């Protein structure tokens, strides 16, 4: 599902990409925390899957931006090491 993330990066640029990612990822964690800490005795699995999808999209947005920015900033000599380092994290 990260195909849409690449389109967002290409159409809107890295600033908007980061802004959307920094809203989705921490926002997903906050909603997940509120759901777990709530007094609701049973929570439908669909809500957890939806939150996981939103957090995954936020993570993909930030990952795409970090990868493409570093590819532009480093020389071809160091590029494979940088991509390896970012992918391992």
Examine the pLDDT at 36 and tell me if it is beyond 70: yes
Domain that holds residue 42: 3-88
- Residue-wise pLDDT for 4-15, tens only, equals 788 888 888 888
SS3 call for 39: coil
pLDDT band at 81 (very low <50, low <70, confident <90, very high): confident
Give the pLDDT confidence score for residue 1 in this predicted structure: 64
- The domain tally of the chain equals 1
Model pTM? 0.76
């Amino acid at each position: 599902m990260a195909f849409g993330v690449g389109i967002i990066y290409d159409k809107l640029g890295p600033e908007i990409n980061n802004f959307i990612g920094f809203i989705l990822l921490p926002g997903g964690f906050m909603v997940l925390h509120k759901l777990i800490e709530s007094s609701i005795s049973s929570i439908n699995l669909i809500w957890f899957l939806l939150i996981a999808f939103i957090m995954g999209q936020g993570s993909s947005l930030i990952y795409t931006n970090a990868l493409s920015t570093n590819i532009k900033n480093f020389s071809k000599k160091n590029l494979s090491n940088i991509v390896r380092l970012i992918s391992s994290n």
